[in-house]
Amino acid sequence: MTMTIPSNAKNVLLTGNPSCGKTTVILRLVELTAGLRLSGFYTEELRERGQRVGFEAIGLSSGLRCVLAHTRSRSRIKVGRYGVEPERLVPLVHAELEKVDEDMDAFVIDEIGKMELHCEPFVEAVRRLLDSKFLVVATVALKGGGLISEVKQQTDAHLIQVTAENRNALPEDLADWLRK
């Protein structure tokens, strides 16, 4: 199932229910575009004894890692059962999303979600990137206000709902779009 991304799209946003495969699409896209200069990050679940206990963000070009949220965090900022420590995301934002390198091919952001919105440098960097000349592929929460709803209103954004039917073809379609 090949998807056509409109020619006026500069930002592609992947959304869908939790665990629908958004991050898997991003990871496969990064593999398929190994020759391109990408910056940004992806998120990984942290698991203990088979249970999800938190989330870690990993930089694509820097390799920096940060634990953004954890069930054992003492942070007063809570999203569900996770304590969110937005200040931990700041070094990754500086290293990955604030690059103004003209040689960059695209930015990949996984994800624009409720946890990340507590980090003001992240919010500012995402707004700048979406309005820049650079191509952006990002995952965005299905529901939410603030930046979550704002990015979906961008006139140059193409929103794709990730489903069981399209998630296997999406990485190749997105890679083709980035290479053009």
Give mean pLDDT in consecutive 10-residue pieces for the chain, a chain of 180 residues. Answer: 78 94 96 95 96 97 96 97 97 91 90 96 96 96 94 94 94 93
Tell which CATH classification among 3.30.2350.10, 3.30.43.10, 3.40.50.300, 3.40.50.460 matches the domain 11-42+89-179: 3.40.50.300
Terminal alpha carbon distance of the chain: 19
- How many helices (H) does the chain have, and how many strands (E)? 5, 9
Residue ranges in 17-169 assigned as alpha helix (H):
22-32, 90-92, 120-130, 147-152
Helices (H), 47-119: 90-92
pTM as predicted: 0.94
Per-residue pLDDT tens over the stretch 25-71:
999 999 999 999 999 999 999 999 999 999 999 999 999 999 999 99
Where do the domains of the chain lie? 11-42+89-179
What is the reported pLDDT for 18?
Answer: 87
